Amino acid sequence: MSRYEDDYSVAPGGVRQKDLVLATNEFVYVQSRTNGQIKTYTGPIMLTISQQESLVVFNPKSKRFEETSDFEKARHLLVSAPENWYVILKNPANDNIHPEMGKASIGADLEIGRKIIVNGPCSFSLFPGQMAKIIQGHRLRSNQYLLARVYDAAAAQKGMQSAIMVDAEGNEIASKERYHSGQLLVIKGTEVSFYIPPTGIEVIPVGDKGASYIRDAITLERLEYAILKDEDGNKRYCHGPAVVFPEPTETFVETPNGGNIFRALELSPISGIYIKVIAPYKDDNGIEHPIGEELFITGNDQMIYYPRPEHAMIQYDGKYMHHAIAIPEGEGRYVLNRLTGEIKTVKGPKMYLPDPRTEVVVRRKLSAKECDLFYPGNQEVLNYNYQLSEQATERLAKKGLSTATTDCLNTAYCTADQASTLAIFEANANISRGTSYTKPRTITLETKYEGVVAIDVWTGYAVNVISKNGKREVVVGPTTRLLDYNETLEAIKLSVGESKSSNKTETTAFLRIENNKVEDIIQVTTKDFVSVKIRLSYNVDFLKEYKDSWFNVENYVKYLCDKERSIIAQEAQKYNIEDFYNNINSIVRSVVLGLNDKSESNQPGKLFKENGMFIKDVELMTVAVQNDIAQILHDHQTEVIEKTLALSDAERKAETDKKLAEYEQQANQLKYDTKKMELDLQTLHEENKIAARALLEEKERIANAAQTQARADLQKVLNESSDAENARKIAEDEVAITFQKKQVEIKKAEQEAYAETIKEIISTISPDLIAALTAKANASLLETATKNMSPYAISDNESVADTVNKLMRGTTLEGVINNITR
């Protein structure tokens, strides 16, 4: 028998009684069947249930007591709350009393409809009609919070002392907040780490059901944000890093995947988003933005974009990001201004980001005529533009089948659903790395038909670009010209065929300006009424100085041929058939090239100022004469050729005889000239001998005369030399006498103390000094004599020294010569 097993006894009268034993922590409800009173039996106790009593249990759903015969179902555990737990007690008794332990307690006066908070530790049983719920005290982390409701403001304000609020450092917090009934409270984990509410405040469980009360806040990292929507429809955006707690009336906006964290939008200078301002605000720079304003935000404005409640993104086909268009070099795009209708051409190389507020990238549809004019013979261009129509483009755009950037930009913009738009920003914070090599991002630019109409002008060609505003430009190749949206090419017509008339023409936009070949067949009539057909080929250039006039003549081929036909036909009437046929090449070239006229250019040719066309050469290809005249001309030419050959043979024979006679005359003349030359040489030789002899005799005569004169001159020199010698000796004697007198006077005047000095001075006047003076005088005399005796020495074929020595013998100079000789 278990300890809960009951004892049964039989009461007087045969009625069975039931005994129930309750443990210390148990209690039961027993109802009297006579008066309906319910008692609470709280253990430890043993009670006997008579026939007038029954066990009952309280059904919290129906709020009624139900009879039961199941003892185990009737047993209830005491309401026990340990430390840091609390009990929510509904319908408390006055003065908050509880049934006594080990006794039967009659129901007390309850405060029906009221509930209180009883903090643990506590343990008690319940009076009939009371309900209790045991809840663990709420422990919060910094990213958790509680949502509570004030149901009794007065009790809450009064019972704040019984509330337990502890911060992260273990300090109790005393709330000074004023409460009102129905108020919702958010208890944040950043402020309170442990919480037990006071009476009058209840913590709302998650989902309003179950035992979970703690709610998780949202932890945002950098580049992340969360959106909270209030009951009044306003939204609040919170940026990371932060822990976001909602207000009591706020809820987190969720993505279709169930997340609450969104990723900030990363922009670059070549990407942007289109924004509509749905509420006026002032940004961080102090700029006010009115409602309805449209913004285009790119990476140049801000690299990281966080949505605002005042912003609504404008998108189409589920796409919100606008990316730049890659325009390679040599290409371009047409950009339409949505407000003014003006279309401009943007040329590459460039990454062009259109402003969707005012700009739309458009494509130009070419007509079949324009396709053939711009791209002659290109069937692919013709087929593409044939399939390209506005209706087809709109249908593709509506179905989302068009992938071209330009198609997207041509469609209308709309305001997207905010929740759907924000779902695009959902972040994936995981980092995944692979073990294989990741190839760099690669894109393929297929812009053949997406951009501006490009005209390739080849070497030697030119086109005339005209616009609807009257402007024109002549473009010379080689180059690529991008046409603006309002520009096209001027078409010219070229006559083809033999007649070069207007009946058969070709239309083109490309004018060949160099080495242009134009062939024509001209029918002319000569002076003697003979018809001649001439086939010509003109070599035509267009001069650069007349560039603006090149396209003034629509059909320059017909214009050229008509002009030249008239001139050649007029010139042919001046000649008979024979002269014209024999000189047709020179006649045609003279007329076509204007060789007789002085051209304005330095080179021969004819200039047409109307369009700058210049014929620089002409080639005569064939000449055809009517058959009967052609035969006559042939026979006549044959006869002329035969006679010309015979005359030429006679002329060559006469020329040969003439040459032989001239050669014989030249030989005789040569012999005569040779003989005459010999005689002349002999006569000249004799004359030279006579002249040489006369010259020799003259030289001998002159030499004898010179010798005689030299002797006379020498004698004169000798006389002068003798006179000079005598004068020198006299001068020397006078000097010596004067010197001796002075010496005597000095000797007398000086004292004896100077005797030795005088002796030294006298000793210096020695023969050597005299000899030196004499030598100097002799040298001077000898120099003079030598100059004067030079002619005499030359006449005698002797040296000057020998002549002077011979003439000076016996004189005082003889010794000088001898000294010099030694």
pLDDT band at 453 (very low <50, low <70, confident <90, very high): confident
pLDDT band at 88 (very low <50, low <70, confident <90, very high): very high
491-622, CATH topology level: Tetrahydropterin Synthase; Chain A (3.30.479)
Q: Over the stretch 232-281, which tens digit does the pLDDT of each residue have?
A: 888 888 888 988 888 888 888 887 677 888 888 888 888 898 889 988 98
What's the whole-number average pLDDT of the chain? 80
Phi-psi region of 529 (alpha: psi -120 to 50; beta: other; left: phi over 0): left
- DSSP annotation of 92 reads P
Burial class (CB in 10 A: 0-12, 13-18, 19+), 599: middle
8 forms beta bridges with 18
Give percent above pLDDT 70 in the chain.
78
The answer on pLDDT for 329 being more than 90 is no
**Which one, of 482, 451, 449, lies nearest residue 467 by Cα?**
482
Place of tokens 């000189």: 583
CA dist 41 and 53 (Å) reads: 13
> Any idea where the domains of the chain sit in the sequence?
8-136, 144-366+406-420, 491-622, 631-821
CA dist 822 and 372 (Å) reads: 124
**Strand extents, DSSP E, 281-353:** 281-282, 288-289, 294-298, 304-305, 311-315, 321-323, 325-327, 332-337, 343-347, 350-352
CA dist 146 and 280 (Å) reads: 34
**Which one, of 387, 385, 410, lies nearest residue 397 by Cα?**
410
CA dist 663 and 652 (Å) reads: 16
Q: Over the stretch 703-721, which tens digit does the pLDDT of each residue have?
A: 888 888 888 888 888 888 8
**Which one, of 111, 106, 114, 118, lies nearest residue 94 by Cα?**
111
Amino acid 821 reads: T
The residue count for the chain: 822
pLDDT band at 87 (very low <50, low <70, confident <90, very high): very high
Q: Mean per-residue pLDDT for 177-196?
A: 89
pLDDT band at 742 (very low <50, low <70, confident <90, very high): confident
Q: Over the stretch 109-156, which tens digit does the pLDDT of each residue have?
A: 888 889 999 998 999 999 998 899 999 999 999 889 999 999 998 888
pTM of the complete model: 0.52
Q: Which pLDDT does position 194 carry in this prediction?
A: 93
pLDDT band at 29 (very low <50, low <70, confident <90, very high): very high
Encoded tokens for 487: 């520009």
Q: Over the stretch 151-182, which tens digit does the pLDDT of each residue have?
A: 998 888 888 877 888 888 888 888 777 888 88
Encoded tokens for 613: 């066309």
